[in-house]
Structures are given as C-alpha cells and as structure tokens.
Amino acid sequence: MSISLTPALALQGVSKLYANGTLANDNVSMEIAAGEIHAVIGENGAGKSTLMKLLYGLEQPSSGRILLHGRACVLRDPRQAIAAGIGLVPQHLQLVPSLTVAQNVVLGCEPTRGLGQLLHGRAAVQAVSTAAQRFGFQLDPHAVVGDLSVGARQRVEILKTLYRGARIVMLDEPSAVLSEQEASALFASLRRMAEQGLTVLLITHKIREIRSACDRFTVLRGGCVAGGGNAQDFSDAAIGAMIVGRTLSAASAATPARRPPGQNAGALVGAHGLTAKRADGRVVLSGVSFEIGAGEILGVAGVEGNGQDVLAHVLCGLRAPSQGHADIDGAVFTSRGVRRARAGGVAAIPEDRLHDGVAPAMSIIDNAMAVQYHQAPLSRRGWLDPAAMQGFARGIMARCRVAAAAPEALIGTLSGGNMQKIVLGREIASAPRFLIASQPTRGVDIGAAQALHEQLRALRDTGAAILLISADLDELLALSDRIMVMSQGEIVAHFPARQVDPGVLGGYMTGALHAAGAAALLASPFTASHAQAHHEEQA
C-alpha cells in the first residue's frame, strides 16, 4: 500500500443541510490516501448516501471543502466529477440490457472511426479486454449484459468508471446484491485495483467486509463521524458498537407494561419454511420459520434489503412463496392472494406509504374504506352507502385523533403522520388477528409516532399478533416482546426484547456477529414458550 503525503481525497468539515431542514452530513472530515481501500460505514440514514452524492456532484455541500490531491474543487454535476477522476458504481446498476459488455462500458463515449459516427467496435472491445485483464475481471466483451449474473454486471459498471479515467472509484453498497463468493471475488478485484494506485471508497453497512477488504474505515452516525481508523486495529464488535452505539432512549427506557411470557395462550401465527426466489433465481427468503403468540409483538430487525420486505409481501398475500406456508390458528393464508389473506384476519401496513399505502389523489373516505368497502355496512350487494362511508371515515379519524381535515379532503394534503394514522386506523378497523407493520413510523413526526405506538399496543392487547419490521431500533426495543434479526433472507438471531443489548443487536444486523454468539440465540422454532423457558433459564 503506497503512502503518499497528499491524500488523494480529503473532506474538511463538510456539511449538507437540505431545504427541508434535514442535516444529512454534519462537519464530516476524513482523509483517504491514494491506493487505499476505504470503507464508509453506517446504518441507513447515517449520511452515507448524501456523502456519496456530494462527492459525485449530485449535490453541493452547504459548508466545508472537498480536496482532490490537495486542491479544493467544486463538483457541480457528475460530468465534472468524472472529469476530476471520480467514478461511481451505483447500487442500482445502470446498464442497458440488450447491449454487450463492451457497448455498455463505452456508452456515451464510444470510440468511432470514419466520419465520427461509425462505431469502432473493435477498439471498444480491445479497450475493454485490456482493462478487464489489468484488473483481473473475467468478462467477455461480446457477452450481452442482460444474460450476465449480478456480480458480472457489477464488474461491467466498475469497468465503466475505469474506462472514463476514474482514479477514485466509489461503490455504493456493492455486496448488497451479491452472494458470498461473488463478494469475495469483488474484493479481490478491488484489491488489485488498489495495488495499481487507484483509490477505492466502499460505502457499506456490513462490518465483516471492512476487515477482509479494506485498509481503513470511517464510521458515520447521525450525519457525524463517529469513529474510524485502520481496519486491523478494531474488532468487529468494536466497530459494531461505533455504528449502533446508542443508549436506550428515554422512551424505551420507561418500558410500558409488556405482557409477561407466561400469559400467552400459545402460538397464533406460524410461519413454516417460507422460501422465495427472485426472477433471476436468487433466493431472497430462505426457510424462514417463526411463531407469534396471541397478544405478542415480534420485532424484525435487520438492515433493509435482507428479505424483510419480501417476508412482508409473502405474509400479506401479495406474493406466493416458492416453498412453505404460514397460518393463523392452523388456517393457511399464504399463496391465496391478498383478499383471502385479509379474510383470514391478516392486515398489513406497507413500507412505502405514498406508493402502496394510500391513494394520494383520493379523499380520506376513499382511502379509509379501501380494505372493507366490499362488506356491510360500507356496501350492500355492490351498492356503496355514502353515509356509512363517511361515518366509517369519521370514526377512524376520531379514533386516531386526526382532526386536521374534513373526510372529503384529499389524503395527500395530510402530513405523513396523519396519513399513517389513517392507514393504521384502517387496518385496525378490519379487526385483524395478525398485523404486519413495515416501518410504521418512517417519515412520521414524533407526536404521531407515539400515537401510532399506542394504537399498536392497543391492538396487541386485543389478542392480535403483530409482526413489526423496523429499521428504528428504539421502536423495536420499545414495542417488541421478542426480536428476531434477519440477514440475507434468513433469521440469524432471536432474543427476548428485554435481554438484548443494542450493541449486540447491531452486531447481528450488520453481520459482525454471525451465529457466533450462541448464547444470544434461542432454540428454534422461535416460539413464545421457548422465550419463556429461556427467560426462566436465565433467571
């Protein structure tokens, strides 16, 4: 690893304050030497993607400087960033499926001959093969990108940046879509790139990668730098603590009464071996089994993209699992479509409120009745009853204390918190026995979030089972009776909520701890009775 005196890339006091008041980056300073593989690590919302946008010219810093090879530079758009030698491999690959590897790599700056329009195909192929060999990529320039695996496609993206003369290559969550082997192959390639003097910036949330792939790292937490240093000098647990390191907030410290394990009647909802595959064959859910008792909240922790959204879709009926099933009181409700699942007592709060949870251009009444409109009293034999619809909407609004508007107002005019209250109120009004809540308080102000938590607890008290999927650890710790951690489509850890340390939880979420801390695991199937037994064991 070559050490030059002037860092290839340096940030000095960089902050980014968005127009809506969000301080995404707060006085971030870091230095990255040439030929170094540097990881920027942190949870979702810690400011990693904002930092990357600043470095690629997609955003401008509100204050601070960015220095390239010691010289301050202003990057107004990606073209300037590319000209300055910065390349970005985005998380969602930007490739044209019907073109070949060579064509994709040179897209936008194709070598031409003749009158300047005829593609010089051979030159492109030549350039791509040379670059691929130089960095050890196994790529056939003539292969059509649409047929390649994800790992190969990612390498095409990397080649794209290299072809445009990038000396600093940023990769955004590269291993999020890769399998273990593909990830190792990727890191080997990155190492070869670094050996040739290139600087690599890895944006990630996976701790394991840091020590295996990187030289140095910086931890971002809440927009600020929370730590950093040489990868060798820190243990996985220490890094995990830096990432997650929070004290239990006051709200969750004063834990409201949770049902003690002994009072559960037994499993109400059971998931058995749920498996799901993506269109390209990649497994996104792998043998997920768990049980939830009546009146119990099971929290699902895990960094996004590890299968939680697929699990939610399978359980609410939007998607059929390729294997396995789930049931309530023995009655199977998966693989039957959404309406049958709902008829069986399942309700769901979707993750993307504006896209899947409401129809923003329709009224509150129309949104409130979306789940039960085909049943009395909202409609009889196909005829809607406007008075009943209005009363229904008013009822929900009153129960959720949304006083902001008339029921005829468009729901899109409400604040995020009020919208979510209506969404939850609507689901609760269908008297579900099982509620799947995905990111229920995302984008919601604190007051509304507390009201939503109260509603969830009230629902639990009626004897329903709740699956709470959340990226907010405070929320999980405050509401859940038990917490399970998902990673790569599997359940990797499972604790009673009262006994979990946030640092340990974070460790499992970010992959630092992986089936190593056996004492933290409860035996499968992860049932309430087992939780009780474990609790008694520990006591």
- Footprint on this chain of other proteins (rule: CB under 8 A): 19-21, 78-79, 82, 90, 94-99, 103, 107-110, 112, 117-119, 121, 160, 277, 279, 281, 316-318, 322, 337-339, 341-342, 348, 350, 355-362, 366, 369-371, 373-374, 379, 382-384, 386, 413
For other proteins, give the closer residue by CB, 87 or 511.
87
Between 119 and 405, whose beta carbon lies closer to other proteins?
119
What the block records as the tokens of 256 is 């409201």
Of the pair 150, 318, the CB lying nearest other proteins is at 318
Q: Is 248 helix (H, G, I), strand (E, B) or coil?
A: coil
Q: What share of the chain is helix, strand, coil (3-state, %, to 5)?
A: 35, 25, 40
Please say which residue, 322 or 499, places its beta carbon nearer to other proteins: 322
CA-CA distances (angstroms) from residue 17 to 27, 43, 54, 135, 226? Answer: 11, 19, 12, 38, 19
In angstroms, give the least distance from the CB of 95 to other proteins.
Answer: 6
User: Per the structure block, which two tokens stand in for 420?
Assistant: 């979510």
- We find the least distance from the C-beta atom of residue 281 to other proteins, in angstroms, to be 8
Q: Which residue lies nearer to other proteins by CB, 367 or 470?
A: 367
Whether residue 464 contacts residue 433, with contact meaning beta carbons closer than 8 Å, is answered with yes
Nearest approach in angstroms of CB 168 to other proteins is 17
Q: Which two tokens stand for residue 356?
A: 């899947």
> From the CB of 173, what's the least distance to other proteins, in Å?
17
d(CA 121, CA 106): 10
The CA angle 331-332-337, to the nearest 5 degrees, is 130
What lies within 8 Å, CB to CB, of 188 at 6+ separation is: 136
Tell me how far, at minimum, the Cβ of 82 lies from other proteins, in Å: 8
CB of 309: closest distance to other proteins in angstroms? 12
Cβ distance to other proteins smaller for residue 25 or 103: 103
Of 44 and 413, CB closest to other proteins: 413
Q: What secondary structure does DSSP assign to 38-97, as a single string?
A: EEEE--TTSSHHHHHHHHTTSS--SEEEEEETTEE----SHHHHHHTTEEEE-SS----T
Nearer to other proteins, 226 or 423 (CB): 423
- Write out the two tokens for 148: 């390649």
- In angstroms, what is the minimal distance from the CB of 476 to other proteins? 23
> Which tokens in the block code for residue 61?
């810093």
Distance from C-alpha of 529 to C-alpha of 426, rounded to nearest angstrom: 31
CB of 89 to other proteins, least distance (A): 11
